[in-house]
Amino acid sequence: MATTNTYLTFNGDCEAAFDFYKSVFGGDFAYMGRFGEMPEGEAHQVSDLEKNKIMHVSLPIGKSILMGSDCGTDWAPNFIQGNNFSVSITADSQDEADKIFSALSEGGRITMPLNKTFWGDYFGMLTDKFGVNWMMSYNEQRQ
């Protein structure tokens, strides 16, 4: 069966965001490459301002992979960060949900505190300090 992974695009702070996510979830980056590491003659010339930006990063989290990159000024002039998606996380325990939710909300904004819901999940939503929307859930019946 197919799996779903999330790809996040940032406006220059991808590395800081992924260092933060790594501190929350643990593990190691499977890959982190910069635009300046692209071989000569690839799709476009990289300006000096963009050479250190992240071309691609991937962070395994459980059975999924969180991926991301910085946008380039040439190919993303209308970039708007964080308003068109949420990353949904399903925790293995209520304690794990609390820990992850608390860590992700540091410096961000909780839009719905973690609480029992009418559909049976322990659920909450937040926007982290990088403008990324997150949904956290735990359902004891599905474990």
Query: 85-143 has which fold?
Result: 2,3-Dihydroxybiphenyl 1,2-Dioxygenase; domain 1 (3.10.180)
Report helix, strand or coil for 100: helix
Q: Are 137 and 89 in contact (CB under 8 A)?
A: yes
Pick the CATH number of 1-72 from 3.40.47.10, 3.30.70.600, 3.30.720.100, 3.40.50.300: 3.30.720.100
Over its C-alpha atoms, the chain yields an Rg (Å, rounded) of 17
Which pair of structure tokens corresponds to residue 52?
Answer: 């250190």
Residue in the block written with tokens 């910085």: 70
Per-residue pLDDT of the chain (143 residues; tens, 9 = 90+): 456 789 888 888 999 999 999 999 999 999 999 988 877 765 567 788 888 999 899 999 998 999 988 886 655 556 666 555 779 898 999 999 999 999 999 999 999 999 998 888 999 999 999 988 898 999 888 65
pLDDT of the residue at 133:
86
